[in-house]
A and B are shown apart, each in its own frame.
Chain A
Amino acid sequence: MTQSNEDQDLTGSSSPWDSAIRERLAAMATSPVDMAVLESRINGQIPNPAQASHMGKRRGCAPAMMFAAGLLLAGLIRETLGRAIATR
């Protein structure tokens, strides 16, 4: 069997029209699909551990940042009050 015959058998193609149809279908293989709904449904059933651990880190991070901001604010208030008392 020649290479061209082998190709013909493997693809099932025997005419320029068959080749054109095959190429037309292959071109459609890259058409965009909207994954949003499917992704949301799958995430609802199978939570993504990578996202969950990321969220956990963010959740753990938030209180620490709030505490630091609180300290900063307290220091600022103390400084302002101290200056106000000193100027009297």
Chain B
Amino acid sequence: MTATDGKPPAVDSAASFYESVWPHAELLLRLATFACDDHALAEELAYQTLLAAAATINQRGEADWRMWLLGILYRQGQSLLSNSATAPADVEAHGLSKAASGSNTPAGDPREILASLSDQQVLMAMRELPPEMRWTVLLLDVAGLNQQQVAVILDRPVWTIESHVKQAREMLRDVLVPLAAEVNSVQRNQVFERR
């Protein structure tokens, strides 16, 4: 059943929806795409978020539309993705221990090295994170919120968010750095073979 129980909202709510909610739809879909493993699930998450927003638009307490919508997206995402088999249970189960990094760190500018990775590769690394850490990084780095705002949305103390960010970045680094080293090595070999 949809958040609106199949009934479209009243015209004044619809006008308000298209004026204030719809401009954020692209951000919601993008974040949903980054959070979910497949596009259909991401689209469903964004759709359910928008319907839930339309259904409760008149009871909105949050002054900031974007914060309000991101809160709905997170809660919808939790319920939608909790049953997903792809949501990792914990860090160790997905082989994201710190041991992978360090010795394999490529020399050079980290920005240039990471630029050699495709968006898809970065997303795959992101999806390896435990759900709450993934949302923390998404809200912080992709949506551009600060840690206090993320703490409000996730309903966690700020120090928990700080800890999540630190751990999540370490995990991402542990996955992305060896991957970037591998990609750079392959590219170097291809250039060498062409010569």
Contact = CB atoms under 8 A, between A and B. Distances in A.
Contact of A35 (B26, B137, B172): B26
Contacts of B9: 46
A38 interface: yes
Contact of B141 (A9, A25, A33, A49): A25
Contacts of B142: 25-26, 28-29
Given A10-B146, A13-B169, A38-B29, A22 B18 contact: no
B140 interface: yes
B122 A24 contact: yes
A19 B176 CA distance: 13
Which residue, of A9, A46, A48, has the highest number of chain B Cβ atoms within 10 A? A46
Given A10-B146, A21-B169, A23-B111, 14 more contacts: A18-B169, A20-B113, A21-B114, A22-B141, A25-B122, A31-B119, A33-B29, A41-B43, A45-B2, A45-B54, A46-B4, A46-B8, A46-B51, A50-B15
Interface of B: 2, 4, 8-9, 11, 14-15, 17-18, 22, 25-26, 29-30, 33-34, 43, 46-47, 50-51, 54, 105, 109-111, 113-115, 117, 119, 122-123, 126, 137, 140-144, 146-147, 162, 165-166, 169, 172-173, 176-177
Interface of A: 9-26, 28-29, 31, 33, 35, 37-39, 41-42, 45-50
